[in-house]
Amino acid sequence: MNILLLQGPLGPFFRTLGNHLVAEGHNVFHISFNGGDECWRSQGSLYRFTSTMKEWPAYFRHFCQQHQIDSVVCYGDCRPYHAKASNICRQLDIAFWALEEGYLRPDFVTMELGGVNANSSLYPMRRHLPKFNPKHAFQIKHQAGKTFGSRAWFAIRYHVIKRLGVSAYPHFVSHRPWGLLKEALSWVKGGLLKLRFKSIDRAMLQELQAEKGRVFLLPLQVSEDFQILSHSNYRDVATVIKEVVGSFARHADSADTLLIKHHPMDRGYINYQPLINQLREQHHLGKRLRFGYELPLPEVYPLLKGVVTVNSTVGLSALLHHLPVKCLGKALYDIPGLTTPGPLSSFWRQQQPVCEATFDAVRNALLHQTQINGSFFTLMEETAVEVAQVMVQHHSQQRELRAAS
């Protein structure tokens, strides 16, 4: 099989995957778009794309045809280069595998053919997910463990090398808006904020015990998340905060509290505290509007009345704990029996209970059809083996179908 790797998750996972595929006898090609992509090279053949974005579609099409590519693998299907590659793969009948963080956290990664989230082939038929009937139970063998330290090191190394190699890739278009200094300092700042707010936020959680069952959670998503930019009607996270806080102030019971949780991967990059302080004063909410960084979800869930999210995977996690969820964007799990329909304004007063049988069926469907028990940061060997097996199995099935026809 001829396999092309595009951009992967930060770190050596694509090197691990590429080396495993080569060891299994496959031909592996890797296209790099910046110096950072060359940090962790596999044993496959490396090609550098140094032209403009306008030239990328023609280059990619020619590359796939020239090397008779069977499968393309990438991390993040909405990145500019990957989105264009996905369209061409559909035209050329090439398997396009999109990897992403797990829909079900923390011990899973997502792998889907054609796209993930609202680009998933399951999205148009998500109402039928509860009818999925697997032939066997999903085996969970691994736990991912903590990944922040690895992520921080991988990110700093990647962005430093990307900056050093900028002259070799003069036309690179990043899906992230920050430069080297901002990227490096943000990871350091994020680590310091984690230490600083650990005790502060724990004290806040203790205070909130007195309001158990009267707390709504708004888990923020990362500021450049394509789930926000591509799969919702919001232009940024700040807009989400303003809308949700305003709605809460106008429609929620005066005894209820709104707790906003900063995304752990975004805390060093952007500070929403001034905006939240402004909204607290504007809507006269006082202690009814809370904000924190270090809020472990298992400790937060018992306090909650409901969760409001655009389309974060925290929504799925909340449903697992039988908490009512309101989605404001396109979400794979936004289906009858799970999330609360209707406008946000009515959610504050009336939440739809979660149907446990529906959730169990949907979770089972997602596990079998989209999830791999692994991690891109701590279980790389095990995850690479699973990813390769899915690709090889699909390729064999497609070859058999072609032979039969």
Residue ranges per domain, the chain?
2-101+375-404, 150-362
Q: Using CB atoms within 10 A of its CB, is residue 22 exposed (0-12), middle (13-18) or buried (19+)?
A: middle
pLDDT value at residue 180: 67
Q: Are 395 and 31 in contact (CB under 8 A)?
A: no
Q: Are 39 and 161 in contact (CB under 8 A)?
A: yes
CA dist list (Å): 402 to 2, 70, 405: 17, 14, 5
- Interatomic CA distance for residues 243 and 326, integer angstroms: 14
pTM higher than the cut 0.75: yes
Which CATH code fits 150-362?
Answer: 3.40.50
- Interatomic CA distance for residues 43 and 159, integer angstroms: 22
The mean per-residue pLDDT over the stretch 178-205 comes to 83
pLDDT value at residue 206: 96
Estimate the crossing angle of helix 180-208 against helix 148-164, to 10 degrees: 160
Give residue-wise pLDDT tens across range 139-187. 889 999 888 889 889 988 998 899 888 899 999 998 877 676 777 778 7
Structure tokens belonging to residue 270? 């952007």
Given the candidates 3.40.50.1220, 3.40.50.20, 3.30.420.40, 3.40.190.10, the CATH classification of the domain at 2-101+375-404 is: 3.40.50.20
Tell me: pLDDT of 125 over 90: yes
CA dist list (Å): 2 to 65, 73, 83, 84, 392: 11, 11, 20, 20, 11
Give residue-wise pLDDT tens across range 314-371. 999 999 999 999 999 999 999 999 999 999 999 999 999 999 999 999 999 999 999 9
**pLDDT > 70: percent of the chain:** 100
* DSSP character string of 94-151: -EEEEEEE-SS-SSEEEEEES-SGGGSTTGGGGGGGGG---SSPPP--------HHHH
pLDDT value at residue 152: 84
